[in-house]
Structures are given as structure tokens and as C-alpha cells.
Amino acid sequence: MDLSLEADKRIRASHRRMTPQRRIILETLDALDIHPTAEELLGRVQEVDSSIHLSTIYRTLRWLEAEGLVQARIFNDDRRAERFDPAAPGEHYHFVCQECHAVIEFNNLLVNAIKAQFELHTGARVDFGSVVLYGLCGDCRKALLAEAG
């Protein structure tokens, strides 16, 4: 999804203006293929404009979240590691590397089967699902194997 483009539309619709700082934050978030924490995003953003503060990052992220353009996610039990996910339309799931903290997105139709089976057995209605798998990403796994010789 093109975050900047979507955000532009929302801003114009509400008759506000896009600040240059907000633009940099959006473009940086768009270009990152990770689900960054606010601090990680700050690091990248400051490579472009070192005057941008963490408070501005958070304000922008909360605004994007309220607009439904970004989802805040917490993986593991680490409450400090809230990560921001430019929300693609439709549900998707995540794999988190325990070594390098890479986040890999995936879709899996089998999750629909789990939902359907649960509904059948319980009479409940499932609205959405959240699946997070943890382990070693391909690169980290290769590095570990190379180390072991």
C-alpha cells in the first residue's frame, strides 16, 4: 500500500495540511519493509531530518493508526516492542525471527479452515485471527549452520 498517497487523501479530506516532517515519516515508513518500532523508525527518519523527535513520530503513528492506515502490533511478551505495520487490506500473519527480529508476513488459507472448524464446534463467530510464528529466519538459520561447520 502507498501510505503517503492514502495519507494525502485523508489530510485533504479533512482540510488540513501535510507537514514536511510528517511527509518524511510517511515516506520512510513506506520504504521500510520491516515492521519498525517507533525508535527504529526514528533512526531512519533522522538520517533525512535530524530535527524530528520521537514525540512527532508517535503523534504521526497514532494518527495513522486512527485512520486505519497502520496497525500497532506487539510480538512476544515485550510490551516495549510495539511495532507499526502499514496495514495492507485483508488479514495477514507474521513470523518473527528470534535472532535478528526480522518480521516476515505470510498468508495461509489453512487459517480459514481453523476458523471454520472452531465456529462449527462452538457456534461462535470468528471475526479475525492473529497468528504469529517464532523461530530463526532463513538467513539466521544459514549463519548458524555455517558457524556450526
For residue 103, the minimal CB distance to Zn ion (Å) is 7
**Binding segment for Zn ion among 13-21, 79-87, 109-117, 119-127 (CB under 5 A)?**
79-87
Q: How many CA atoms lie within 13 A of 123 on its CB side?
A: 0
Instruction: Compute the distance between CA of residue 131 and CA of residue 149 in angstroms, rounded to an integer.
Output: 33
Instruction: Compute the distance between CA of residue 86 and CA of residue 103 in angstroms, rounded to an integer.
Output: 13
Residue 97 binds Zn ion, judged by CB under 5 A = yes
For residue 99, the minimal CB distance to Zn ion (Å) is 4
Helix 3-13, helix 20-31: angle, nearest 10 = 150
Instruction: Compute the distance between CA of residue 26 and CA of residue 28 in angstroms, rounded to an integer.
Output: 5
**Binding segment for Zn ion among 12-20, 24-32, 37-45, 95-103 (CB under 5 A)?**
95-103
| 3-class DSSP state of 10 | helix
| Among positions 34, 104, 140, 143, the unique one binding Zn ion when judged by CB under 5 A | 140
Residues 55-74 that bind Zn ion (CB under 5 A): none
Residues that bind Zn ion (CB under 5 A): 85, 97, 99-100, 102, 105, 137, 140
